[in-house]
Amino acid sequence: MITRNRIYALIALLILIAVGTYAYYILRDDHQTDGHIILYGNVDVRQVNLAFKVPGRLRAVNVEEGDTVKAGKLIAILEPQDYEDDVSLSQARVLGQAAQLAALQTGTRPQEIDQAAAILAEANASLSLAENTLKRQQFLADRDFVSPQGLETAKTERARAAAAKEVAEKAYKLARIGPRSEDIERARAALKAEQAALNLSERRLKDANLIAPSDGRILTRVREPGSIIGAGETIVSVSLVSPVWVRAFLAEPDLDRVKPGMKAEVQTDSGGIYAGKVGFISPVAEFTPKTVETPELRTSLVYRVRIIVEDAGSRLKQGMPVTVILKPSVKQ
């Protein structure tokens, strides 16, 4: 009797071992079929919030939610008057500074030199006349023919004429020498500063137009015409057409079998099939996210994989669950 019970117990143990082994391999290979690796993940579509780089009053928004836009399309525009005035003012300043620099580089004109020479000649004549007048007044004063006040007046006129001659001589010398190199360099630097201010004004005027950076679809329209917009405030949100990725998770036993560039097949629950390839494998292990439906244990450590979907168009939506089939045995 004891022997029979032992036999029954041994048979039951063998059955349990067989069932356990079968279940282990079924669970272990549930994500593999014919050497293929099956992964589960979600579609990841890039989204961008479009905003102006400059503040202002919103003049127009040219798109509605759901509209498809192409790269380069004018999405919205600010009132440009203030920025156009800044450009005009900067242009005028550049022209004025350029004219000043040109005058310095050209040097003194011959007419200006002749004019300085004429002024100097006039100053010499005035000084000669003042000196003769002073001599005459001095002669008469020595003989008491004029009052002391007349003599002082003659001396003052002579001093004034001498000072005028000195000023005229310096002006004539400067006219002959021309502008200093330091003055030219200072004017050239001022012109560069005005040109930089003009470039900034033109760039700010251009930034008053909001342009689509790439193809996509308008998700949300946040602001309306007439609103006062600050720099960086979101005007619309755009879902980009490309790139479209699938975020999936790879078990550690399959890590050596999957390489970047490996071809992949992406399947949706609605029956859509899309070609793709492995673009990135994370070097860091992590726990499987709770939102990913897999037959694996939730506490399993996995590696995040990015699958690049080719020619997805607008059929794959953000967060859509998909199945990814990798075929390591197929030559790439």
> Is this prediction's pTM over 0.85?
no
- Amino acid identity of residue 156, one-letter, is T
Range(s) within the chain of domains with CATH label 2.40.30.170: 29-45+242-326
For 42-73, what is each residue's pLDDT tens digit? 888 888 999 999 999 999 999 999 899 999 99
48-79+208-238 is a CATH 2.40.50.100 domain: yes
Boundaries of CATH 2.40.50.100 in the chain? 48-79+208-238
Q: Which CATH fold would you assign to the domain 29-45+242-326? A: Elongation Factor Tu (Ef-tu); domain 3 (2.40.30)
Q: Is 274 exposed, middle or buried (0-12, 13-18, 19+ CB in 10 A)?
A: buried
Of 62, 55, 57, nearest to 218 by C-alpha is: 62
- pLDDT of 31 strictly over 60: no
CA 53 to chain centre: 9
Rounded distance between C-alpha atoms, residue 177 and residue 166, angstroms: 17
Each residue of 120-153: pLDDT tens digit? 788 888 888 888 887 887 877 777 776 777 778 8
